[in-house]
Amino acid sequence: MKADKAGVLTGSHVLNGNQACAEGALAAGCRFLGLYPIVPSIEVSERFLARAPEVGATFIQMEDEISALAAVLGASWTGKKSMTVTSGPGLSLMMEHLGLGIMLETPCVIADIQSVGPGLGLPTHAAQGDMMQARWGSHGDYEIVALAPSSPQEMFDFTIKAFNFSERYRIPVAIMSDAYVAQLEETVVIPPADQINIETRRYYEGAKDSYLPFKRDKDFVPPMVDIGQGYRFHVTGLTHDDRGYPIMFEECQEYNVHPLMWKVRNAVDKIVEVQETNTDDAEVVVISYGATSRAVLKAIKQARESGIKAGGLKLVTVWPFPEKRVTELAKKAKAIVVPEMNFGQIVLEVERNGYGEANIFFLPHGDKGAEYSEDILAAIKRASQTSEAKSGIIEIS
């Protein structure tokens, strides 16, 4: 399906990452924004609101992030593609309705513009400290899709991807950006509407009286209906049967919750996306995502110039994690370097999938910013010189 022209601002623009995210949402067909203001995500809302009247979108600023995501879920059931935008402290509050969105299988997008935590942290400074929270922060078992853009252009592109995944699998999808990418101004090229592929939730087409809200198709995704169409359906956040009625037996974990995992796990090959640079002959592979991957490109180039066979794997989808590819690379390479703007999150996934195959070096740079490539270069050099296998993650301090 092609994008609706109304939301697509075709042309070449200078936008910051947040503005590009709003444009991506509008291009993807998002027509509802539920928001609560938080630095450094503000321009997403401001841009969306400024454009809303001409696009035909609606919005509401709620009383907190809890209600912002609650309103988004409600709006999604009216048939409008819906999103919210926040930062770390807001994401913490949204964990409740992330879980409800998973359980009600409600398509929606959450853009998290990460800043430094924990607690109040440093709201204006970039970080990648919410990566595990997006995956594990809500109680109970679930799978999520999360994308990590590294430029305003990717903020636009990945926001469209996020909506497509969320509609296809009926799940909340997270855009894990950060203050650096969000505030960075660059050229963003928005293609004509007929060159943008968008996906929309699959609607139920059978008889009204035989509609079952959670009857799954072969991909474990139940077709959806909007409110107000005469289906008079019921959905509950409790474990439930195909009719959406609560079932309070432990068997329901298997019947109801397990398929929530399958619908993502079985589609991993269709969801996972990475971008690789010089990995064919790489002895040292740098695995990164988001803003950090910008500095990695420079460091890899410098390493090659100094004779080290360095390569890079950039995660487009952080969740689901590209497990297979990381294991393959770990088998081929001597060492893996993981730089992150935190004190060790995604490196744990790299360790889990590459352990025993290659030495894994972790480079925390919580306070240096994404433009800092010298540290990454030094880490690559050190990794290339370490020959003996060492256990655990080797943290570079």
Partner 1 sequence: MMETPKTDEKQEIHPMENLLRMDRMPHIWCPTCGIGLAVTAFTAALEKANIDPNTVSIVSGIGCTGRVAGYVKLDSFHTTHGRPIAFATGIKVASPKTKVVVFSGDGDLMAIGGNHFIHAARRNIDMLVVCVNNFIYAMTGGQVAPTTPLAAYATTSPYGCVEPPFNIPYLAESSGAVYVARWTTLHIRRLTNSLTEALQKTGFSVVEAISPCGMYYSRINRLGDGLDMMRFYHDNVEIRHGEDTKNLDIGFQTKIICGKFVDRERPSYNERYNQWLSEVKTAGRHSKGQKGSKK
CA pair distance 374, 378, nearest whole angstrom: 6
Within 40-59, the residues that bind partner 1 by CB under 8 A are 43, 46-47, 49-51, 53, 58-59
Q: What are phi and psi of 283, to 5 degrees?
A: -95, -30
Number of residues near partner 1 (by CB under 8 A): 56
* Least distance (Å) between residue 47 CB and partner 1: 6
Please tell me the distance from the alpha carbon of residue 100 to that of residue 108, in angstroms, as a whole number.
Answer: 11
Whose CA is closest to 26, among 234, 193, 146, 209? 193
Are the CB atoms for 350 and 360 separated by under 8 Å?
yes
Three-state DSSP class for residue 74: helix
Q: What is the dihedral of CA 202, 203, 205, 211, to 10 degrees?
A: 120
Which residue is it, tokens 């997008």?
A: 109
- Contact residue for partner 1 among 21, 30, 75, 318 (CB under 8 A): 75
State the pairing for strand pair 58-61/108-116: unpaired
Please select the residue that binds partner 1; options are 23, 105, 154, 351, rule is CB under 8 A.
23
Q: Which is nearer to partner 1, 56 or 356 (CB)?
A: 56
Residue 138 touching partner 1 (CB under 8 A): no
User: Whose Cβ is closer to partner 1: residue 13's or residue 332's?
Assistant: 13
In the chain, the amino acid numbered 140 is: G
Closest to partner 1 by CB, 39 vs 50, is: 50
Which range, of 68-76, 117-125, 271-279, 320-328, touches partner 1 by CB under 8 A?
68-76
Does residue 70 touch partner 1 according to CB under 8 A? yes
Sign for the pseudo-dihedral over CA of 253, 255, 260, 264? positive
Candidates 97-105, 155-163, 278-286, 288-296; binding stretch for partner 1 (CB under 8 A): 97-105
Within residues 223-282, the interface with partner 1 by CB under 8 A covers: 227-238, 243, 245-246
What is the closest distance, in whole angstroms, from the C-beta atom of residue 68 to partner 1 in the complex? Answer: 8
- For 197, phi then psi, to 5°, come to -90, 125
140 counts as binding partner 1 under rule CB under 8 A: no
Q: Which of 17, 24, 29, 34 binds partner 1 (CB under 8 A)?
A: 34
Q: Give least dist CB 253 to partner 1, A.
A: 18
Residue 156 sits in the site that holds partner 1 (CB under 8 A): no
Look at the block and give the residue holding tokens 């993650």: 393
Options 28-36, 178-186, 253-261, 363-371: segment touching partner 1 (CB under 8 A) = 28-36
Instruction: Confirm if 182 and 43 have CB atoms less than 8 A apart.
Output: yes
Rounded Cα distance, 132 and 341, in Å: 13
Q: How many CA atoms lie within 13 A of 342 on its CB side?
A: 23
Kindly list the residues in this chain that would bind partner 1 in the complex (CB under 8 A): 9-13, 19, 23, 31-32, 34, 43, 46-47, 49-51, 53, 58-60, 62-64, 66-67, 70-80, 82, 96-97, 100, 104, 227-238, 243, 245-246
